[in-house]
Amino acid sequence: MAKALNVVDLTMRFDDHEIFKKLNFSLEEGSMTALLGPNGAGKTTLVRILLGMLSPAKGYFEMADDIRVGYVPQFRNIDPDYPLSIQSFIELNTPVFKSAKVKQEVSHILQETHLKGLAKTRMGEASGGQKQRAYLAQALLDKPNFIILDEATASLDPKAKEELMNLIQHLNREHGMTVLFVTHDIPLARRYMKDYLYLSDGTIRQGKMEDFKESFN
């Protein structure tokens, strides 16, 4: 299997505070991996490095040449007065005058994320699950083949969680998308993810989700 991501001796510190040291792992193309670990272990920091938003203190990572990364952020509530419709929100990064091709892509993504009937609903009025699907739809418009989700299901109700996870599973199975899913929700990860990375005390472990025990202590 080709590698989507290869992380080599990745070390991060903020001032004198070392967050993690010499992390080594790789993700195969088409894999579904949960990134787990206690609060403050450095999961978001690792994601921000992979997104190019932070530079590591030492070490490096490489992505396969054909990798295009999409990102779905942690759930943040949106002002109820936020004026954009779900469709306009998804189209935020597209040109003002949209080609027929872009319009068709937006229509297809609305369909795929089950937002077609909600296209005109204001983001401010949408439910938590609908908002997260809109963030996912926005990311999909760049045609990623590797998607990183940071606590994307946190604070969603069980039904909305299931909907989002089914969608992620669909993207993985039908489009071969590589998935890295940061979560605290171990039952959810066990149900949907195949592999895990466990970041704790500055080190990382990798394995199969079905073998994951809640704690490595």
Chain residues binding ligand ATP by CB under 6 A are 14, 19, 37, 39-45
Residue 59: which H helix or E strand, with range?
Answer: strand 58-63
Q: Output 44 or 169, the one with its CB closest to ligand ATP.
A: 44
Q: Output 89 or 198, the one with its CB closest to ligand ATP.
A: 198
CB of 14 to ligand ATP, least distance (A): 3
Pair type for strands 58-63 and 3-14: antiparallel
Q: Which residues does 160 contact at the CB level (< 8 Å), separation at least 6?
A: 127, 128, 129, 130, 132, 153
CB of 42 to ligand ATP, least distance (A): 4
CB of 147 to ligand ATP, least distance (A): 18
CB of 12 to ligand ATP, least distance (A): 8
The amino acid that residue 159 corresponds to is K
Q: Output 185 or 195, the one with its CB closest to ligand ATP.
A: 185
Q: Output 80 or 187, the one with its CB closest to ligand ATP.
A: 187
Distance CA 62, CA 55 (A): 13
Distance CA 204, CA 132 (A): 28
Distance CA 176, CA 90 (A): 22
Q: Output 41 or 165, the one with its CB closest to ligand ATP.
A: 41
CB 58 within 8 A of CB 50: no
CB of 70 to ligand ATP, least distance (A): 19
User: The tokens of 192 are what?
Assistant: 């949907």
